[in-house]
Structure formats: structure tokens, C-alpha cells
Structure 1
Amino acid sequence: MTFIDTILAHYGWQGVALAGVMLTALCVQLYYFLFVYGRIPSYRIGRRPARLREAPPVSVVIPMFSEDNAFVEQTLPRIVAQEYPDFEVVIVYVGSDADFYEDLVRLRHAFPCVTVTKIQLDPRFPISPKMALNVGIKSAHNEHLVLTTTDAYPLSDRWLSLMAKGFMRAEVVVGYCGLEPARGIGNYLMRAWRMMHAADWLASAVKGRPYRGIRHNLGFTKTLYFGANGFTHLNMNIGEDDLFMQKIMTPANVGVVLSPRAALCEKTWGGLGWWTRTVRFFDAAKPYYPRWVRTYVGWEMGSRLLFWLAVACALAVMPWEYKIGAGALLLVRYGVIVWQVRRIARRLGERRMCGRYFLYDLLSPFYALLLGVLNLRKDERVWR
């Protein structure tokens, strides 16, 4: 009797098939974490050929859709205090409060680099972020633009200089924006979801297959913007950081700025319920992604779910030596992943991500399935 016949006699074809599923899923997982996400910690934008001799003047464009005093008092001072010699801040206020607008205009006395323009709010004609950005981009005086939002703030005074230096080697620059840390498992899961989903598009951009940025921390040139005739998908209230970026991004024109000093932090406005509504809103753009992007993202999540289910089945019904083997594979996978997650988090400026990562690792595939079910129903907030 051959070795294979012995294995089949002892475990049956079901046991052999289960082992095959575990090993295949494990190989896919190790490929992603070692060879795909592993590009992030080792990436250096300085390896790209230079297109400019020095960092250019930059315009930071920020849409504002409410009378946001917290932004004016807390976030704006962090932006205007950036250690960069030549930049302007263009604020596009969408509202109807004349007194608040006058206060914004007077900011120029304290911060000469700030320019404010206004779009009168009319309930009959809702203004989308793309429309506000259109006005801000046309009002900007510089060729190189960095877009951000009132919900995000820089983590250091080097953010803008690093993004501007990215323009020395690329026409499109993309950076990272995490979520504001707070107490609780819910906040941790939200932060882990943001970091690991950012790892998907950051790693792809590093490889030379860019497909998106993040609306809080990205930049491009006016030439690219007007060459593409402005933002796409104008019937949607989303898409400026992915659907439009897919139109202007090429393997040769994108630079990724990866540094804790170049990262931003987005404020959170609730727990998992708020986060689910937010993710569902922006996920409405994903059906319009190229097929290769959806396949690339889906393989990691799908192989992880398959691996978890196969290991659970082995631990539940197979003999003790089979269980030991399945447990060993589980430990190997988790060891590799925690090691790589620590490296990624350090590069992106995230803290305290590894200790509870097993929770995200286990729960996120089921959360993705929940989002898929929720997205079967059309989100009316998306459409104009």
C-alpha cells in the first residue's frame, strides 16, 4: 500500500480535500502578506526618477460643508503651520451663514496663505464635494494640488513638505489617512479596517497598478485634472478619490508618500453603526472598479474566510494528529501576519494594532459579507 493509499484509508477523501483547501488558502494568504503587502514597508519614493529639480508651490484645497468652528480653531492652525515655504490654503465654504463666511474671510489677516471662496447653499440645488472641489481647484493659484477634508488633520508639521516632495517624482501623489484612536473594540476594528484596506491600494500603487487614493490625503496636477475634463461620474456624490483617480492614474505618474509624518488622522463621529453607514456609502463606487481590482481585493478576504472555515472544520471533526497539524498551520499564518502588520503599521504611523489583530482577522470577512448584503439595496445618498 502506497503512502497516498494509507492517507486515504486513514482520513478519507474528505480529509485529503480539507487539507488541500487549508494549504491552498494558506499559500494565498502568505502570498498577500509576504509579497503584496510586504512592498509597503520597503517602498521608497526616492527610487523613482525625478521630474522636477525642487519641490513646487502647492495649493491645499479643502471643501467645507458646515459652519465648522472646530476645523477653524483646531485643524486649520495645524495646516497653516506646516513647515513648507510656498503654499496656499483654498477653503471652499458651502453654506448660507454670511457672518461665518465673513469670519473665514478675515482669517487672511492672521493667515495670509488662506484664501476663502463661497458657494451659496440652496436646498433646491444640493452641492456635491466634486462641485466644491471644482470651484476650489479653479481658484487655486498653483499647478500642484493637495486635497483634504475638514474631518482630517495632519499628524506632524512635515505632512505638506513630504507630499510636495512627492511631486518632484510624480504627477499624482497619494498618502495615508488613519482613523482617530479611541477606547473600545469597535474603534480598534474600524482603525484596522481602514489600515488593511488602505494596504490593498497602497501595495497595488507601489507595484505600479494604482487604482485609488484617499480623499483626505491625495494630490495631482491641474494639467491632469483639466486634461481629464474634471471629475467623472457627476451623477454620484462619491468617486473623486477612486473613479476619477482611475482615469488619471498610470503606472508611470503615481508616487506613494509613506511616512508617519506624512499621514493624516480622520475624526470619528460614532461607533460601528456610523462606520458601517460610511463604508456602505463609499462602497457604492466599487461596482464601477475594473474587474482586476475587485478580484485582487476579493482573493485575500475570500481565502482568509476559507482558511478559517477549513481550520474550524478540522479542529471540530478530525483526529487529534490532524488537529495538531491544522493548529500548526494556524500559528504559522498568524505569526507571519502579525509580523507583517507590525511593519505596515509602523510605516503608516498606526499604533497598538498588533495585540488585538486576531479579532479583526477573524471578524472582518463576516463584516464584509454583511456589507455585501447591505449593498444589495441601493443607497439613495450616493445618487444625485
Structure 2
Amino acid sequence: MDLPYIFNFNFPLPFWIISGAVLLFFSIQLVYYLLVYRKPYVYEQKRNKSLPLSENLPSVSVVIASKNESENLEKYLPAILEQDYPDFEVIVVNMGSTDETDVLLKGLNQKYPHLYHTYVPAEAEDVNGKKLALTLGIKAAKNDILLFTEAYCVPASDHWIREFGREFSKGRDIVLGFCKLQVGKKVAMRQFILYDNLIHGLKYLSLAVLGKPFMGIGRNLAYRKEIFFEEKGFSSVLNIDEGEDDLFINKIAGKKSVGVVVSPESMTQSDVVNNFFTWRALKSKYLYTKQFYKGVSSLVFGFETFSKYLFYLSVVSGITYGMVFGNYPLIALSVFFLIVRFVVQLYVIGKSSRLFNAGKYHVNLFFFDLFQPFNNFKFRKYANKRNRLRK
């Protein structure tokens, strides 16, 4: 008596090839989500259980480079100046602003004596402006720990500096943080923008937790002043537009002790993304400098994207072949692994999203997952074209 087809294990060769491919790329994707992307969330859970009872906190200098940001400085700078921290200063470098920045800083200085401000000379304004401004701020800093953010960012809590100070008290040389985006509900592609920012953060923070740091963002990172001078400042990235944060960290992180802060109190947040074009400009900066990164990060995440699309292709091939030739076990297997991957992905992204306050995900996660690499490719072309026109 012949067994029904579903119980007949004498399947044709295409079944074994397709099912093998589905299982292989499913396994690779599982490794990325459970052992890489999940790292920041797990790291924060463990950190919460091992917070020190006493703290020997180092002195900190917060450095901000600003150009025509008087409105943002007025809104956000007090939250930095009023941090709950024993010993810190805030240095704002005015990059030739033509708005009320100078008047505002002088006024704030009357109330906050630990605020210092300097400026980039007019004749040097267009010569590597941001790098020069940060160099002036770093030279003016009296403390060894330098904490960087932008004029359009605000700390998520009054313990922002304290979270970084705790990490440096462990002997770290560099500490990387995360910046949340507050995107208005009327902004086009709002949920995708939040997702994209979350994935970007998970990538560089995950590898940092795993001991393979490759970048940081100038909206929330810190390092020791002595490192800056050991590396001769930004000289190694002086010929590249931008890169005063991610490229600089990329070039020095492999030789130093790197820590990570991902607690809600350690984050900064920004509402700078008020339309699609602002987001494109912000993201394109990192996509342009990314091509100059050294190390394995591009290969690691390039392979993740490659395996992801091969997984989807294998699943579609399995379903299509199964429907054409009536191979229902192959259809069931393909759909099963597609669902399991989605559930794992939803679990990991959901947990991380709650930690980083990056929105809620459901079926939209499937479409974001497919679309993001294409969007990055499009934005990278835009960034390269923009930088060619500048030269």
C-alpha cells in the first residue's frame, strides 16, 4: 500500500535543494537576530543588575559645534547645563553664526558659569568648518573626558552625563551612545524613518558590545582628550567631507577600550527630522562616509543583507515550485520558516524598539525589512553625487 504523498520521503531533487537553501539562510538570519541585533537589549538588561553602589565619576567636558542654531540652543542647552553631575563644563563653538547665537550664549553664561563659548575665526570658516570647530572646542576643554552632541539634540534625562561617566570610571577610552529621533506624525515615511534609525543604531552598538566597534554618531559619543592628540586630531580624515564622528571612531576604536551606553537615561533625542529631505541629508552623510570604513563591518552587514534576500528568494522558489508541482510539504516548510523568522525578527526588533523608543511594529516590519537596503542604495547614490558637486 502506497503512503500518501505528504508522508512519502522520496522527494525529487529540487525539493532537497530548495528546502536546504531555506534552512541554511534561515539559520544565518537567526544568528544575526539572536546573537547580533539582540545584543544591546541583553547588554542593558545585564547592566541594570550590576550597577555600582558607589561611583568615582571623572570630570567631563561637553563639546558642541553650532552654526545658526540659536533657536535650538535656547531650547536644548539648558537641559545640558542643568545635568545632575558633580563636575562638568559645557563648551559651545560658534561657527560664524549670523543669528542670535552669540547674544544667547553670553546671556546663558551669566546664569551658568560652567558654560564656555568660543568661535571659529571668519577667515577660517570654510576650511573644514566642523572639524576645525570641534578641534577648537577640544583644545579649550579642561577635562580629559570629552562628550559630544549637536545643538539640535537634547539629553533624554538629567543623568545623561552620569551614564557616560560611569562607563569611563571602568577605564574606557571611548563610549558610544544612541540618539532617538522624534519624528512628527505628519512627516512622510515616519515609521520607516524610526525603523531605519533603530537598525542603524543596532548595527554599530551590537558590534561594539561584541568587541568589534566600527563607528559612532556625533549626536551622542565620548572619548578621552588624550586620544584625540595621540591621533593628531582629525588629520587622518581631514581630506574627507564629514567623518568627524563616525570615520574618526572607525580609525581609532580598534586600538582602544570601547564601552557602550544604551540605557534610556544615556540617550539623546532630536526632532531635527521634520521632513523627508532633512532625513535624507542626515542619513546620506553616514552613507557617504561609510565607504571609507576600515574593518569587517561592511562585510558583516553586507552578508546579512545578502543572506536575507537569498532566504526570501528560497522561500518564494519553494512556494512556487510546490504550487506548480503539487509539492505541499515544500510549501508548508517554506511558509513555516518564513513565519518563524518573522516572529523572531518581530520579537528582537520589538524589544529593542521599546528600549530605544523607536515605534511599534507589526506587518509593516516585513516591508521595511525588504525596502531598507534599496533605500540605502538610493541615498548613497544621492550622497556621492552631492559630494562630487561640492568639489
Q: TM-score, normalised by structure 1?
A: 0.88
Give the superposition deviation at 1:272.
3.5
Over 3 Å counting, the alpha-carbon distance change for 1:151 and 1:381 in structure 2 is: farther
Deviations 1:292-345 (A, max 9, x none): 111011111222222223323333443344222211111100111111112222
Alignment RMSD (CA, Å): 2.8
Over 3 Å counting, the alpha-carbon distance change for 1:382 and 1:312 in structure 2 is: farther
1:129·1:237 contact (CA, 8 Å) conserved in 2? no
Give the superposition deviation at 1:374.
4.4
Indicate the SS of the match to 2:62: strand
The reply to whether residue 75 of structure 1 matches residue 65 of structure 2 is no
- Aligned residue for 2:63? 61
The reply to whether residue 331 of structure 1 matches residue 331 of structure 2 is no
2:181·2:273 contact (CA, 8 Å) conserved in 1? no
2:73·2:152 contact (CA, 8 Å) conserved in 1? no
The reply to whether residue 27 of structure 1 matches residue 31 of structure 2 is no
Partners in 2 of 1:99 and 1:341 — Cα distance?
42
- Aligned residue for 2:239? 235
Over 3 Å counting, the alpha-carbon distance change for 1:330 and 1:5 in structure 2 is: closer
- Of 257, 261, 268, the residue aligned with 2:265 is 261
Over 3 Å counting, the alpha-carbon distance change for 1:45 and 1:210 in structure 2 is: farther
Over 3 Å counting, the alpha-carbon distance change for 1:40 and 1:86 in structure 2 is: same
- Of 248, 251, 262, the residue aligned with 1:247 is 251
Q: TM-score, normalised by structure 2?
A: 0.87
The reply to whether residue 204 of structure 1 matches residue 207 of structure 2 is yes
- Of 282, 285, 291, the residue aligned with 2:286 is 282
Superposed counterparts of 1:147-162, under 5 Å: 147-162=148-163
Indicate the SS of the match to 2:10: helix
Partners in 1 of 2:176 and 2:75 — Cα distance?
24
Deviations 1:41-69 (A, max 9, x none): 22156999x9x961111110000011x23
Over 3 Å counting, the alpha-carbon distance change for 1:376 and 1:106 in structure 2 is: closer
What letter corresponds to residue 78 of structure 2 in structure 1?
P
Over 3 Å counting, the alpha-carbon distance change for 1:187 and 1:73 in structure 2 is: same
What letter corresponds to residue 141 of structure 1 in structure 2?
K
Partners in 2 of 1:118 and 1:128 — Cα distance?
11
Superposed counterparts of 1:40-51, under 5 Å: 40-43=40-43, 44=46
Give the superposition deviation at 1:353.
4.5
Partners in 2 of 1:30 and 1:289 — Cα distance?
26
- Aligned residue for 1:292? 296
What letter corresponds to residue 120 of structure 2 in structure 1?
I
- Aligned residue for 2:226? 223
Give the superposition deviation at 1:78.
1.2
Aligned residues between the structures: 375
The reply to whether residue 109 of structure 1 matches residue 105 of structure 2 is no
Indicate the SS of the match to 1:90: strand
Over 3 Å counting, the alpha-carbon distance change for 1:106 and 1:377 in structure 2 is: closer
The reply to whether residue 365 of structure 1 matches residue 373 of structure 2 is yes
Structure 1 outlier segments of 4+, above 4 Å:
44-48, 372-378
Give the superposition deviation at 1:242.
2.1
Superposed counterparts of 1:161-200, under 5 Å: 161-169=162-170, 170-183=172-185, 186-200=189-203
Partners in 1 of 2:104 and 2:298 — Cα distance?
45
Identify unmatched segments of 5+ residues in structure 1: none
Over 3 Å counting, the alpha-carbon distance change for 1:360 and 1:238 in structure 2 is: same
Give the superposition deviation at 1:127.
4.4
Identify unmatched segments of 5+ residues in structure 2: 1-6
